[in-house]
Amino acid sequence: MTVQRYTASSWRDGPLSRRRQDLGATREQRAAVAGIVERVRSEGDAALFELSQQFDGWRPQAGERLEIDRPAMARALEGLGPGEREALEEAATRIRAYHATQTYEESSGGEGLRLITRPVRSAGLYVPGGRAAYPSSVLMTAIPAQVAGVAEIVLATPPAPDGSVPGAVLAAAALAGVDAVYRMGGAQAIAALAFGTESVHPVDLIAGPGNIYVALAKREVFGTVGIDALAGPTEIMVLADRSAAPELVAADLASQMEHDPMTLAILVTDSPALADAVEEQMSDIVPELQRREVVEAARCCLVVADSAAQALQIADDFAPEHLSIMAEDGADLSRQIRNAGAIFLGPWTPVALADYVIGPNHTLPTGGSARFASPLGVYTFLKRTSVASVTEGEFAKLQGSARRLAGMEGLGAHASALAIRMGEGLRNG
């Protein structure tokens, strides 16, 4: 595999350091997704089934249902081996405990003024398939929705050509309280969740990771439904000094590179010796990996900064999805980071552990969006409504200013709605 090396200045001027939130989509991909979404919106099941056959190699036959129900999920859970079930249950317990702390209180803006918080009625969760099964993503999306109080939680995931869904995914859905699993993937699944079809009930919010076609489809349907985020390829940045163990840095970079050929894995360090050692370690470990082809296709970069302060600035400017800090003063560095989806401190907190069982969510802002976005959480599935109640006396004090502002804006009906309450009849201004 090729490891690209940069100095701080060449990295700053290079293409990988620039904003990545355009998702890297081509014009052809955008047009294809727009066409898929419109077909499902207008044609319903007919388009959904045809596109599922085209992209996933499966469509429901006579007597088959798109939906997998709760009893089938429960059977998948019962069918797991003891060690597998225990691992899923431990992960679910820790994820639930962490997200249960994301509490909220109704706020008051003064007498008669409140801000109330309610969950969305229904959520559609997307869990990728194809290269691997992701029961962890089921837990990371469904458990926060359940903690938030969402009444209906459904999940879409691509089926195999025989229509099957990995048992581990169904088992995780059972643990996480999913109501139904739809065997559908890609942009057509997002469109079906947003608009509904004869077989799929429309939802209020769509959340969960996916490939470029899923992300583009979420962009297309936003406004009809809410979305969590537009997720691009996964990223890991390791911020390290000379105290870091090169074999751990290399292993952590490779662990995320096996997700996707579009993964971006970066080491930023002020130690040229560490950069050399990590490059050597990558050459040693990658040929032995199970998903070697995927790792070799991903992008790996080493950035050598002139100082620790410069390395920190590079990391903060990049706003990585995952930021692993392996440095003697890691805790202090973490307090100086403003932009990162999640921060992992020290050699015993690898991203691979956080992907499964630590507790915080692994669905994180990508593409530099950590500058303004947050990890998926309970709050993803909540919405707020303001409530106001004004007394007659308060109205009398406030209406004058409101009428003057209505006059400034030329909105006579606004002024009249206020004047009539003062016994003045309908009027302008």
Positions marked active-site? 321-322
Label residues 131-150 b or e (16+ Cβ within 10 Å = b): eebbbbbbbbbbbbbbbbeb
What are residue 237's phi and psi, to 5 degrees?
-125, 130
CA 89 to chain CA mean position, Å: 22
323 neighbors 237 (Cβ within 8 angstroms): yes
29 neighbors 212 (Cβ within 8 angstroms): yes
CA gap 249, 246 in Å, rounded:
5
Find the DSSP H helices in 112-210.
135-148, 167-176, 186-195
CA gap 77, 85 in Å, rounded:
7
187 neighbors 37 (Cβ within 8 angstroms): yes
CA gap 241, 232 in Å, rounded:
28
